[in-house]
A and B are shown apart, each in its own frame.
Chain A
Amino acid sequence: MLDTSHAAARAALGIYAHSLGPEFDRCAMDYAAGRVLQLSGQLDAALDTWLKALSHPGARGWPVLMNAVYEVALDLNRASQARDVMDQHSPALPELHLWSGLLSRQLGEVDRALMSLQAAQATTDGDLQFTAATERIRILVAHGRTSEALIVCDDALAQAIDSPLLLRTTRAGLLNRLDRASEALVELDAILQHIPTLAPAWLNRGSALLRLGHPDAHESFQKAIQLDPSLSSVAAQLVEALS
């Protein structure tokens, strides 16, 4: 049955391509072809098809295509190969720096990941730029390089990046980690004046107050959990760690 399905999927791709003819955007067609191969259980062939799609002049760097490559490459232990292909095409398609950086992070290659993400932050905009900056920060924090993370954060804010309030919330979290809770508190109160429903800001505020030994910390944690119940375990961990 599986063989039948594989053969049918491959036959369908040929028929579809023939039906459309050469004038259609190959990258879009190849993305869809890869999905057919993936759904019929031919993951290696799907990844090959998507990697090939990255080389098309018409490739627009659709996040959905990049995500597909990222996920399947990791599943198949072909992250290194996928990352190399992405790097090869990133001069033409700057957003590939982002996914290349994410793959390098998964491969444990921290410096290469940071370099790719930095390139992504410098060459993209909107969500991708924001993601690149926050991923850089996350990696640096995970490796105890909080001061560098703060510099990245400040640079990103200076870039007038999208979602500055979220980034400022992250910055306040970094200040907390650097034992600069008073500065964090000022930042967070300013943020919450703009968006009183920003749950992570309440969480970081609770953390700042706790570090400062303020009795109101609990209320901020409660507010964060009320706005976003998924934060309850993080809040509990923070209270436990800081108490």
Chain B
Amino acid sequence: MTAPRAITLVNLWMTDPGQRYLPLGLLWLRASLEAAGFGVEIRDMQFLDETAREDPQQLAEALDDSHDVLGFSLMSNALPLIVDAVRILRERRPERRIILGGPGPTTVARPLLEAFDWLDLVVRGEGEHTIVELMRVLGDRAAVRNVHGVSGRDSEGTFHTRDRALIIDQDSLPVPRVDDVDLSVYSVYTTVTARGCPYKCRFCEIPSYESRRVRTRSVDAVVDELTAVWRERGVRSVAFQDDIFLLSKPRVEAILDKLHKRGVPIEWGGFARAGRVNSEWLARLSERGMRSVAFGVEAGSDRLLSRIAKGLTVKKAMAGIDAAIPHMHTRCFFLWGFADETLEDFYGTVQAAFHAQILGAYPEVGHVVPLGGSPLFLNWGRQPLEFHADYPFARVIVPPKSTRLKEMVTQHPRVFSAHLAFPTPDREAKWTVATQAWPSDQSPLAPA
């Protein structure tokens, strides 16, 4: 195969019903690929209708006319669907090269390639440098084996190259362009100002994908981007998608100061740690455009919070929520279904969610899933994981509908762990309460 000159990048971020987010990961990849001289077409599958998005055959057909190199960016939730869609795509055009990337395939690259012989390339971790190098050598089997951050299969079998070094200088990356993106079709303008999360929450896989080392874009780079979209594209509100945007007070203040000086009065929201905010700061942020905050609380029991290494107490969590409510739209996320979760822990979580609700917050309660790169899963050596077809509380994990996908999931628990559940004590009792307390996984609890 001669080196390709163009690639179709496919976004498969399956999000909340009705919500559409910019395919940020692909826009960053495109910027690097274009800077290296490659042509890039982005297909955002969020806009396929729901039936097509959940049907591998229809998805494959929708991509029939793509370039000879196809790149999928996905999270764990879309993995069974895409693995099967790739099988169909390969059957229809065997010469096509298909690259999987994003958090979903990264954390399970080894078992994924072992289990499915029609998959041939996975880009692990941050993809900007890897995809460019890969595109340059895609026709050269030996050279592909020298690209860091790649897992793959060739005529000699599967291989896994060294992890790619983290991109420390985030400003060294070409900045994504959105000049050809119809921003009006997305729920909100999203951006990322930093990668990585310093915390050690055991249910989370972000550190295994982005590392615990937080790497920030410069204040100027962030402000330049927001100024440009504010002036040229009429963007007035922004959702910061950093794992924790309110991580460094001086940095947040510096970004806001600079936006103010530039005359860019955006409204914005982002994630925060409930234990790191207080009413005074949130009031000030509210005056400077902050309209929403989201906290990961996870549990209403100090014992369980300690077991999952959340680094938070119930008291701090509720104090953070209480501090935010008067100033902004406050979301808080809870999880149930941990393997170590007693019935007492579970009821604590129920109480915390309702407590937050009546105070005026918007709690969202989901079922914990064994994410492939999470310490909870990586250290799981006990009973088999469980498959629950009527998985009602894992908001963004869509249960596979077809028998084929269900079989794939149950036969390959190491690959599709995110579609399974940890055994949890008293599951039936918890399930009964949860279905009464939160009757629909589609809509978050309404505020009091």
Contact = CB atoms under 8 A, between A and B. Distances in A.
A32 B354 contact: yes
B437 interface: yes
A28 B429 contact: no
Name the interface size band of chain A: 20 to 34
A16 B358 contact: no
Interface in B302-344: 302-303, 313-315, 318, 322, 342-344
Contacts of B348: 12, 15-16, 19
Interface stretch (A3-11, A127-135, A142-150): A3-11
Nearest to B347: A12
Contacts of A24: 318, 322
A224 to B, nearest CB: 29
Contact of B343 (A5, A33, A63, A64): A5
Nearest to B356: A32
Contacts of A63: 448
Given A4-B343, A40-B347, A65-B358, A16 B429 contact: no
B352 A39 contact: no
Given A5-B429, A28-B359, A36 B347 contact: yes
Nearest to B313: A19
Interface string A11-48: 11101100111001100110111011001100000000
Interface in A170-224: none
Nearest to B428: A1
Contact of B429 (A1, A29, A62): A1
A135 B350 CA distance: 34
B300 interface: yes
B436 interface: yes
A16 B359 contact: no
B433 interface: yes
A15 B314 CA distance: 10
B301 interface: yes
A20 B318 CA distance: 8
Nearest to B345: A12
A117 B210 CA distance: 59
Contact of B354 (A1, A20, A35): A35
Contacts of B345: 12
A13 B301 CA distance: 10
Contact of A8 (B302, B347, B352, B437): B347
- SS class, residues of chain A in contact with chain B: helix
A4 B429 CA distance: 10
Contacts of A62: 358, 448
B426 interface: yes
B340 to A, nearest CB: 15
B351 interface: yes
B355 interface: yes
Contacts of A35: 350-351, 354, 437
Nearest to A9: B347
B354 A8 contact: no
A39 B350 contact: yes
B302 A4 contact: no
Contact of B352 (A5, A9, A16): A16
A16 B314 contact: yes
B424 to A, nearest CB: 13
A31 B345 CA distance: 18
A32 B445 CA distance: 13
B342 A8 contact: yes
B235 to A, nearest CB: 33
A32 B315 contact: no
Interface of A: 1, 4-5, 8-9, 11-13, 15-16, 19-21, 24-25, 28-29, 31-33, 35-36, 39-40, 62-65
30 contacts: A4-B343, A4-B426, A4-B429, A5-B429, A8-B344, A8-B347, A12-B350, A13-B351, A15-B301, A15-B302, A15-B348, A16-B300, A20-B318, A24-B318, A28-B359, A29-B351, A31-B355, A32-B351, A32-B354, A32-B358, A35-B354, A36-B347, A36-B351, A36-B354, A39-B350, A39-B433, A39-B436, A39-B437, A62-B358, A64-B448
Given A15-B348, A29-B355, 9 more contacts: A8-B344, A15-B302, A19-B302, A19-B313, A25-B359, A28-B358, A39-B436, A40-B433, A64-B448
